[in-house]
């Protein structure tokens, strides 16, 4: 889920942007800020991906604020003054929306932002994947067995044991779900229940409070725990068309 903030000293302008954002499921509005100082607090408190920033604000303008950020999020300027566009693009703003902002123009800018943020996230995930191994070893049947990440369909917890279920095999080992959850790469695996960790690439469907995966050619329905559902939904929305 892309996290966004609105920075604007006009309540009506905030409300319009909030309404538009409410129609885009992949973007979550984290905060509405009345000035640059409130925005600075929001950026420090949250991992913000996208900022809609007004230029003409009291005390500190949007351009002054953005210029002072060492690692700013993707920024879209919103203003009633088109003559500031050059300043915005010199600060590497992604887009420049002139008020009153139409819904189609907003959507165009938001889609550009989503594409840029997703590209950046994929690049970061690829870097993390390359740094670590794509397998691990577990003790099973009195030997150390290698398990490749991509072969895993899901992992089932049974008290102090886990069953690592693969497409054509399974491994039972003395292990806890907590330890596996901490060691497995989060870009590939997600915990969906206190008893299940699933390979994201193996999820075929989300149906109500369960997911469908295929194990040994058969469809398996795995429950999704209430406390895990939101995180799973966010990961699915990242790849939703």
> What number of helices (H) and strands (E) belong to the chain?
7, 15
The DSSP-derived string for 151-174 is GEEEEEEETTEEEEEESS-EEEEE
Sign of CA dihedral 66, 71, 73, 75: positive
Buried b / exposed e over 85-94, threshold 16 CB at 10 Å, is: bebbeebebb
For domain 2-130, the CATH class is alpha beta
Confidence (pLDDT) at 130: 46
Does the global pTM surpass 0.85? Answer: no
Bridge partners, residue 219, by sequence: 214
Question: Mean pLDDT per segment of 10 residues, for the chain of length 241 residues?
Answer: 96 96 95 96 94 92 90 91 62 86 94 90 59 80 89 92 91 90 90 95 92 88 93 85 69
Comparing CA positions, the residue from 225, 234, 128, 223 lying closest to residue 184 is 128
Confidence (pLDDT) at 128: 43
Confidence (pLDDT) at 239: 77
Confidence (pLDDT) at 129: 43
Confidence (pLDDT) at 80: 85
Q: What is the DSSP letter of 201?
A: G
Q: What is the CATH number of domain 135-237?
A: 2.40.50.1020
Confidence (pLDDT) at 223: 95
Integer Cα distance of 212 and 104 in angstroms: 36
* Domain ranges, ordered by start, for the chain: 2-130, 135-237
């Amino acid at each position: 889920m892309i996290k966004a903030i609105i920075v604007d000293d006009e309540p009506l302008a905030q409300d319009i942007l909030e309404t538009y954002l409410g129609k885009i499921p992949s973007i979550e509005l984290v905060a509405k800020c009345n000035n640059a100082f409130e925005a600075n607090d929001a950026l420090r408190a949250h991992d913000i991906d996208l900022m809609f920033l007004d230029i003409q604000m009291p005390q500190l303008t949007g351009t002054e604020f953005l210029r002072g950020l060492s690692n700013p999020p993707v920024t879209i300027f919103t203003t009633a003054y088109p003559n500031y566009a050059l300043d915005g693009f010199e600060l590497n703003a992604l887009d420049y929306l002139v008020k009153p902002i139409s819904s189609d123009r907003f959507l165009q800018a938001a889609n550009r932002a989503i594409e840029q943020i997703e590209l950046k996230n994929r690049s970061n995930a690829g870097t993390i994947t390359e740094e670590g191994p794509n397998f691990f070893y577990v003790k099973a049947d009195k030997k150390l067995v290698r398990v490749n990440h991509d072969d895993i369909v899901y992992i089932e917890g049974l008290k102090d044991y886990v069953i690592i279920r693969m497409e054509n095999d399974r491994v039972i080992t003395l292990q806890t779900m907590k330890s596996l959850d901490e060691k497995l790469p989060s870009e590939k695996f997600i915990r969906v229940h206190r008893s299940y960790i699933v390979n994201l690439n193996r999820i075929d469907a989300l149906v109500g409070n369960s997911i469908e995966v295929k194990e040994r050619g058969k469809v398996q329905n795995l429950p999704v725990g209430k406390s895990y559902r939101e995180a799973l939904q966010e990961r699915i929305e990242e790849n939703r068309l």
